[in-house]
Copies of this chain bind each other. A is one copy, B any other.
Amino acid sequence: MIEDSILTAARNLDVLFLFLGAVMIFSMHAGFAFLEVGSVRRKSQVNALNKIIFEWATSTIVYFVVGFPIAYGVKSFHFWQSADQLMATGSGEMMRFFLLLGFAACIPAIISGGVAERAKFWTNTLAGAVFVGLVYPFFEALTWGQIPLFGTGSWLENLTGYAFHDYAGSVVVHSMGGWLALPAVLILGPRRKRYGLDGTSAPIRVSSIPFLALGSWILCVGWFGFNVMSAGNLGGMSALVAINSLMAMVGGILAGMLISRNDAGFTHNGALAGLVAVCAGSDLYHPMAALFVGIVAGAVFVFGFHIVTEVLKIDDVLGVWPLHGLCGTWGGLAAGIFGQKFFGGMGGVSFVAQLIPVVSQILLSFTASALVYGVLKMTFGIRLTEQEELLGPDLAVHHVESQPEEAL
């Protein structure tokens, strides 16, 4: 009897644990929203807000109906079961859905920052839904889910002796988000007047550092839920994950600030770069290694952003490809290096077992996005008209300015 009640309590605790993680991750989406609000022009702020909240809604529906079943099958949690059946068998599973939805919904939230200020609202939402419903869950299934290609007990583990290790989604979530964004940004083209006809770069100033910083802070705080609650249950919780997340974030801040010589945008995004990179191996690293991984991520972001927007002249507004794509990729590979015992890590990883899935993911994401955005471009169109862009998406699409009272 007492054993029973202990078991129930343990189950409840796991549900609570997942719940706290799910809510923390949900809160991060407010962070995505404000990071974008601050990083775009004032005429695109409402668009950022509406986009993030609405894509959360569409992601919920799509991931519930299609995505989650693709990734994990329909064994324990079908939505055609009645409520009492769901409660009887699927309590933990439902909460896990909520947590994992928070991951999945990052995909459109990441892309959003890249295509900001000029993408058509509805076709971009549609693209996001396709990714959350099909592309992301497919790779999720390969890594954490029901298709035994990269995860524990998979083909890769048989091949290399080690499964692909992506504890909290450097690759599955962030790298994928970034690499899905890249083709979108390329196909859309830069914002009006972002680059001159002669190729000169005319940077567009952001609207608000405080909102940008608010977004970054919300993301940083929620991220601890993202990483630590990735354990999936209280028993699996690891203090190391928390400390390593902290260290990598700190590394990203230091690098972002110092390399950019006090740039507020790079500093606050540097924190995120560190966190993106640490996800994969946060349960493996020695804290000092995590710090290093974060520092490198901060540097990757600063230089990456410069190269992307100034050298390659790709108008990735928030720098989501360097931030999530490159730092996520770096994080996936870093787990295979600094996760090794040689670097004071926990071991159980190999570089090759990281490299193969990382590269596969890049190919998959790039192709899928090129396809989806390509088709959408040819059919409905993916870009606001010149006139709409000039007016700004806030007025053109949402019929309101971000500070309506100020309008004369």
Contacts and interface: CB of A to CB of B under 8 A. Distances in A.
A202 interface: no
A239 B15 contact: yes
A16 B19 CA distance: 13
A10 interface: yes
Given A235-B8, A403-B208, A346 B83 contact: yes
Instruction: Count chain B CB atoms within 10 A of each CB in A54, A121, A216 and give the residue with the most.
Output: A54
A6 to B, nearest CB: 7
Nearest to A122: B262
Interface stretch (A27-35, A139-147, A157-165, A354-362): A27-35
Given A15-B239, A246-B98, A262 B50 contact: yes
Interface string A37-54: 100011001100110011
A224 B214 CA distance: 21
A397 B79 CA distance: 53
B91 A9 contact: no
B403 A87 contact: no
Contact of A210 (B8, B64, B402, B406): B402
Given A239-B92, A345-B83, A398 B263 contact: yes
8 contacts: A9-B234, A19-B228, A20-B20, A27-B217, A83-B344, A87-B346, A207-B404, A208-B403
Copies of this chain present in the complex amount to 3
A309 B163 CA distance: 60
Contact of A268 (B13, B53, B287): B53
Interface string A247-262: 1011001100100011
B404 A15 contact: no
A84 interface: yes
On chain A, which size bracket covers the interface? 35 or more
Contacts of A123: none
Nearest to A217: B30
A306 interface: no
Contact of A253 (B24, B56, B257): B56
A214 B84 CA distance: 36
A243 B30 CA distance: 19
A397 B262 contact: yes
B15 A9 contact: no
Contacts of A83: 240, 284-287, 344-346
A44 to B, nearest CB: 10
Contacts of A86: 240, 286-287
Given A56-B250, A264-B49, A12 B82 contact: no
A399 interface: yes
Contacts of A57: 249-250, 253-254, 257
Contacts of A237: 12, 15-16, 19
A336 to B, nearest CB: 15
A221 B26 contact: yes
B234 A12 contact: yes
B221 A45 contact: no
A75 interface: no
A26 B284 CA distance: 23
A12 B17 CA distance: 11
A299 to B, nearest CB: 15
A405 interface: yes
Contact of A213 (B33, B210, B238): B33
A288 interface: yes
